Amino acid sequence: MNDHDEYAETVGEDGKIAVPDHVQDAIRTLIRWSGDDPQREGLLDTPKRVARAWREYCQGYQEDPAVHLSRQFEEVGGYDEVVLLKDIPFQSHCEHHMAPITGKASIAYMPRNRVVGISKLARVLHAYARRLQIQERLTAEVAQCIWDNLKPHGVAVVIEAQHGCMTGRGVRTPGVGMITSRLIGCFLDDPRSRKEVLGLMGY
């Protein structure tokens, strides 16, 4: 049995995801440690709600992002210029504080006789984002997945996001955005291609 078998998803009599007692107990402990009473009326069902919410936040662990790129199209009419999906909204959670990361991503590739449906680029992003993340790794994982599976001339991914661990705690500085990028292939090696794709993205 692997680490995830214990938490395999089952459905309770109410038709919702069943939440094991020890998971609910852990959330009650956190509520109590935070200074509230998990037995008061407004918090009685909170452990189940929180657990189910986190299953949804982290559903990317149940996905193989590469699956979204498996259906490819070769009838592109000779098109060999940049394909860009711009400003894709996403939400993730920081692996250091489990606080929200909210932002947008722009994903581009230079096809080599094969393309995918544009929604698949967003699906790859969401599959990685719905895991505990750091923005740097998220950016690299999305780019590498597209590079490995589409085998294009180049891939460019730029992510801009705000981090709850910075805005809601610690330094408490709202309105600050973090930008990360990963360029592979022609977008890294050819200055003209790099300038073109970053310009199309608005950077």
pLDDT in tens, 113-125: 899 999 999 999 9
Q: Could you report the per-residue pLDDT of 43-88, keeping only the tens digit for each?
A: 999 999 999 999 999 999 999 999 999 999 998 888 889 999 999 9
pLDDT at 175: 83
Tell how many helices (H) and how many strands (E) occur in the chain: 7, 5
Q: What share of the chain is helix, strand, coil (3-state, %, to 5)?
A: 45, 25, 35
pLDDT at 167: 84
94: left (phi over 0), alpha (psi -120 to 50) or beta: beta
pTM score, two decimals?
0.91
Q: Average the pLDDT over 33-46 and give the result.
A: 97
Q: Average the pLDDT over 8-25 and give the result.
A: 82
Q: Could you report the per-residue pLDDT of 174-195, keeping only the tens digit for each?
A: 888 999 999 999 999 999 999 9
What whole-number distance in Å separates Cα of residue 168 and Cα of residue 90? 19
Q: Average the pLDDT over 24-49 and give the result.
A: 97
Interhelix angle for 21-34 vs 46-57, to 10°?
Answer: 110
Contacts of 39 (CB under 8 A, 6+ apart): none
Q: Is the pLDDT of residue 89 over 70?
A: yes
Torsion angle (degrees, nearest 10) of CA 128, 130, 131, 132: 120
